[in-house]
Structure 1
Amino acid sequence: MERENWTSRLGFILAASGSAIGLGNIWRFPFITGTNGGAIFILIYLAAILFIGYPILVSEMSLGRITAKNPIGAFKKMAPDTAWPLVGALGVLSGFVILSYYSVVAGWGMSYIFKSLSFTAESNFPAIFLGHISSFTEPIIWHGIFMFLTIAVIGAGVVNGIQKLVKVLMPILFVIIFLLIIRSVTLEGAAAGLSFYLKPDFSAIDFQTFADAISQAFFTLSLGMGAMITYGSYLSKKESISESAGYVLIFDTAVALLAGFAIFPAVFAFGLDPASGPGLTFITLPAVFTQMPFGTFFSFIFFLLLTIAALTSSISMLEVVVAFLVDEYEWKRKKASYLMGFLIFLIGIPPLLGYSSFSNFSFLGMDVLDTYDWFSNSIFLPTGGILTSIFVGHIWGSRNAVKEANKNSRFKIGNIYSILLKYIVPTAVLFIMLFNIYQTI
């Protein structure tokens, strides 16, 4: 079976950036920044992106391109008759689990595109949000619609599905976010939000700040779940991995930072709490929008932005699973897309019901969705990142990875990349992973 390739470098960069840009940027990054002191968290996050995220991103892309395989097939080809393909299997499992609850949250955002049209200053936003997530019919319908869109894109293929979609959606995403920023920073009282966002408060630093920054870097760049290995496997030998990875890093980080400029000035302008956790998106921001001129319009486009970002990421997660079945078992793409998509939809039912039928469930004090998220972000992704960095740095060899990444490149990586990949990355990520486990238990 002939394997598809991206038809252009831009197509690959937009697709990989789309994978990285998702709920992690628009939903997760603002509330984690808010709960970790604002600007100081951003500085640590940027360091984590550069010194931990970039080396793993380059490694996964290089591993994918040199093998032209899915995550399991890539490790199998590079280290046959060993246990290393289990690392790829962990990536496939991660994408499977994350997409199941990711689609639930994306469904919330999609429903708010339409709910926001009827919001008023008198609306009881906590009750609206709780009423939505604690019901059965509405969340499951939106979860199903979002998964169907994801399945349809992947079923259409790499070029006609993923590449075509991201070429349309990524420019729209940037236009929307800039409109939101212009509205937010021109509000009276926005200066306090900009100060919170841009002026570091070093007294706010603790170890949790570092842990959250590194976890966010993994989540937002789609690392450790096989997405970048899979996308790299469709990349032409003529393209530069070191440069392409740099562009992905820049686009992803830019959207996360821009989301903060769109959100924090508005939150402070209306005297609301930036540390309101996940409720920042579905409770605090709707309240903000109803108090500003043309608020209904801006609320509508914000949740449209959230949904677009979620979709460009969800397709990469499903593609990991589908590529595995297409490569290893020669399944037809449409068959793999619809069957696996439906199975993921079913696995998303428990977290969806975690606020209603399964509301009595508790794992270490967490509900079902938070449990899925904790295993994914505290166990699966960092373990995948640690083992991938060890494999590329020591088994395949960082010199070989550097050679592959530097092909046709004007921006060369070398000794610093090797040192980071072989020693700094696995040590730092392991330390943070153990800290997160200890904090939870």
Structure 2
Amino acid sequence: MNNRGEFSSRLGFVLAASGSAVGLGNIWGFPSQVAQNGGAAFVLVYLLLAFLLAYPVLMAELVIGRATKSNVIDALGEITNSKVGRYVGVWGAITASLILSFYAIVAGWMMAYFIEAILALFGGDSILSWFTDSSISRNWLFCSVFLFFTALIVTGGVKQGIEKWSVRLMPTLIILIVLLILYVSSQPGAGAGWKAYLLPDFSIIFDPELLISAMGQAFFSMSLGVGTMLVYGSYIAKKENLPSLGASVALVDIGVAVLAGMLIIPAMYVAQANGVSIFADDGQLVEGGALIFSVLPNLFDSIGFFGGVIAIVFFLLMTIASLTSSISMLEVPVSYLVENKALPRSRSVWLMSTIIFLMSSIIIFNFESLFGLVIAFTTEYSQPLLGLLICIFVSWIWHRDAALEELSAGHPDIKNSFFGKVWPVYVKFICPVIIIVMFVRTIWS
């Protein structure tokens, strides 16, 4: 335990933790939610709920992690002083692994489209369809390549792996988004997209569906409930001010989500101006896979040569976003093997990567029956329940004084601050109620 890694700087942690939160859920999911839920009305509700719901739960994970300096299984076992806590930690590690097993498949698609865009630019027409057509061979190959790169980064540990690459990848990600926003905004049709994104429809701002969707997006986009933030929190120095660090992570995560909306929503309307259909058969704006793998590629094709360049940049962006999240998910089970089972980091990383790749392969070979099922089980059921239990553990079992004592290490006056007075009560009563309402609504739907 004395050889545990630690983030070398505040910036390193913020970029690594926000990188974990910033993934396909921000760049793919957030704009889709905005498009389906009243544009800026959804953005406003999301911004509010991100700090009313997601930030307090994020802080619960960070404070548990730093106090215990342990992996998710040992940490939850320690604060609850019971096997129940350890079982919940095992559940969290399994959930993180399951999420990575399907996430690697989707990230592999991004890599395939990235390579296809490069080949198309230089005339490799004869094999292009293999990269864009769904097949077992394509999915299996690029899933394995993506997990290989993820494993390479995690083998470097906290400073030389996770932090080193997060500090490089996150600024690159933001620069690419900004450059694409500038280009898309200069195209015909972009104005209609900006209008849809920035002008709220206040008539639906209290619509239950919008509120539930915003709650879900705020909670899941910050990578909560599976132990990633808890593990990253365990690598934070005691001198750091945790509430300030957590707020920085939340702001970066929210900022990237908002930037993604500035890119995707105007791009959809630019696509429409170029003759690409952006509405599904039911009259709703397309979302998810249809948006990323149909509407936007058709937009890039309609622009000509420069559209090919934009396609390369866009799918590079999507691959980077996938990678910054995947390294945090792999670190959850790896940290347990390193600390509890005393396995060397390199062996732990490649062992878990192999197990997760086998899980991905099972999904690939049974795609129709398993892909959607694994996504629903992990993101709609497992994550919110784990988030609920973390709130209960940190507030009802571990108790307020122990949490505030840990927070005071980097913020001596925490008990007299607004955060110190509000957060313990909020995470004890309000967050569990909100998560339960969100979960029941999901089940009911």
Q: TM-score, normalised by structure 1?
A: 0.91
Equivalent-residue separation in structure 2 for 1:160 and 1:336 (angstroms):
16
Partner of 1:160: 160
Find out whether 1:287 has 2:298 as its counterpart.
yes
Out of 379, 382, 395, which is 2:381 matched to? Answer: 379
Out of 385, 401, 404, which is 1:402 matched to? Answer: 404
Q: Shift in Å at residue 208 of structure 1?
A: 2.5
Partner of 2:218: 217
Partner of 2:282: none
Q: Shift in Å at residue 128 of structure 1?
A: 5.8
Equivalent-residue separation in structure 1 for 2:173 and 2:131 (angstroms):
28
Q: Shift in Å at residue 204 of structure 1?
A: 4.2
CA displacement 1:172-223 (0-9 Å, x = unmatched) = 1111011011011121221111111111123445323222222222221110
What runs of 5+ residues in structure 2 fail to find an aligned partner?
122-127, 280-284
Contact 1:215 1:377 in 2 (8 A): no
Equivalent-residue separation in structure 1 for 2:409 and 2:115 (angstroms):
47
Partner of 2:200: 200
Mapping for residues 96-115 of structure 1, pairs under 5 Å: 96-115=97-116
Bigger mean CA deviation after superposition, 166-175 or 409-418:
409-418
Find out whether 1:309 has 2:318 as its counterpart.
no
> How many percent of aligned residue pairs carry the same amino acid?
38
Partner of 2:125: none
**3-state SS of 1:270 partner:** helix
Residue type at the aligned position of 1:98: I
Q: Shift in Å at residue 30 of structure 1?
A: 1.7
Equivalent-residue separation in structure 2 for 1:18 and 1:227 (angstroms):
11
Mapping for residues 109-188 of structure 1, pairs under 5 Å: 109-117=110-118, 132-133=133-134, 135-188=135-188
Q: Shift in Å at residue 130 of structure 1?
A: 10
CA displacement 1:348-394 (0-9 Å, x = unmatched) = 1233345xxx43x3xxxxxx222111111111110111111111112
Residue type at the aligned position of 1:285: L
Q: Shift in Å at residue 4 of structure 1?
A: 1.2
Q: Shift in Å at residue 331 of structure 1?
A: 1.2
Equivalent-residue separation in structure 2 for 1:405 and 1:292 (angstroms):
53
**3-state SS of 2:337 partner:** helix
Out of 355, 360, 363, which is 1:351 matched to? Answer: 363
What runs of 5+ residues in structure 1 fail to find an aligned partner?
121-126, 362-367
Partner of 1:124: none
Residue type at the aligned position of 2:442: N
Change in Cα spacing, 1:32 to 1:118, as seen in structure 2 (3 Å) is farther
Contact 2:114 2:315 in 1 (8 A): yes
Q: Shift in Å at residue 14 of structure 1?
A: 1.1
Change in Cα spacing, 1:208 to 1:90, as seen in structure 2 (3 Å) is farther
Change in Cα spacing, 1:323 to 1:144, as seen in structure 2 (3 Å) is same
Change in Cα spacing, 1:290 to 1:109, as seen in structure 2 (3 Å) is same
Out of 264, 271, 277, which is 2:287 matched to? Answer: 277
Q: Shift in Å at residue 400 of structure 1?
A: 3.1
Bigger mean CA deviation after superposition, 57-66 or 265-274:
265-274
Residue type at the aligned position of 1:201: D
Bigger mean CA deviation after superposition, 80-89 or 51-60:
80-89
Change in Cα spacing, 1:280 to 1:166, as seen in structure 2 (3 Å) is same
Contact 1:116 1:286 in 2 (8 A): no
Equivalent-residue separation in structure 2 for 1:4 and 1:216 (angstroms):
31
Equivalent-residue separation in structure 2 for 1:77 and 1:208 (angstroms):
38
Partner of 2:24: 23
Residue type at the aligned position of 1:418: P
Equivalent-residue separation in structure 2 for 1:248 and 1:30 (angstroms):
20
Partner of 1:422: 428
Number of residue pairs matched by the alignment: 422
Find out whether 1:189 has 2:189 as its counterpart.
yes
Contact 1:129 1:283 in 2 (8 A): no
Partner of 1:14: 15
Q: Shift in Å at residue 129 of structure 1?
A: 9.6
